Amino acid sequence: RADVCLIMIDATEGVTEQDTKVAGMAHEAGKASIIVVNKWDLVEKDDKTMARMTEEIRRDLAYMTYAPILFISAKTGQGLDNLLEMVILTAEVLELKANPDASASGFVIEANLDKGRGPVATVLIQRGTLHTGDIVIAGKTVGRVRAMTDDRGRKLDSAGPSMPVEIIGLSEVPDAGDLFYAVEDERMARELAEQRKTEEKDEKAKMQEKITLENLFSHIKEGEVKDFNIIVKADVQGSAEAVTASLRKLSNEEVRVQVIHSGVGGINE
């Protein structure tokens, strides 16, 4: 859902396998990309080093031939002005625009359950303007924006396109990556959220293999595969998803790892 991708490379490590995968995903998605070499303050900052690293990047990321390469240091601030100018220039060339007068929409970056504030979601507004008091639906959850803060913790009454904000007021913790929309009809939004919950529940039920008369004897003959049921709880939704994906990969011929529930918040019965 990004408009411009920043491919971050560690100057002390060079292009890693993970960098190659991320760059490949951006390329396949057809996204405009800028290659950013960070930690430039930790290497010998001369023309030869820069030329050598540029050559290595062009070789390892051959499909990024036309992507600009910038050298920066997030620690010292070196090159950040050039990076900002390049992002703005790229946006202008691509004619990236958004209508600030429309109803807000965007997606959830991250979410967690705060003991004092309840469900908290960090969202990126891609279109329109979000206001305090707006009714929003994000995936399978609905709520009214009770409070909204920017990246420095300052309270806001409204936020426009391309702005990341933290909002509270949702009934549940949404999933990272969920689309969110500001709507006028709260009743319809709640009905849609319930419909999505039902669809997800049905989908999960279909994924779990059931023993029937047809496959009962094959299970007995082969030896019953033992299920190892796990509930995953984490501090934020992104961590819960990552842990769940890793656990499912542990299944083998003897034991099947099943994550029966995944969510955020404290441990409870």
List the chain pLDDT tens, one digit each, 269 residues.
778 999 999 999 999 999 999 899 899 888 899 999 999 999 876 778 888 899 999 999 988 888 999 999 999 999 999 999 999 999 999 998 889 999 999 999 999 988 889 999 999 999 999 999 999 999 899 999 999 999 999 999 999 998 999 999 999 999 888 999 999 888 888 888 888 888 877 776 665 555 455 555 565 555 566 778 898 988 888 888 889 889 988 887 777 788 888 888 777 77
Q: What is the b/e burial string over 240-251, where b = at least 16 CB atoms within 10 angstroms of the residue's CB?
A: bbebbeebeeee
Q: What is the pLDDT of residue 3?
A: 86
Q: What is the pLDDT of residue 251?
A: 82
Q: What is the pLDDT of residue 129?
A: 96
Q: What is the pLDDT of residue 65?
A: 82
Q: What is the pLDDT of residue 54?
A: 92
Beta carbons of 7 and 35 less than 8 angstroms apart: yes
Q: What is the pLDDT of residue 48?
A: 84
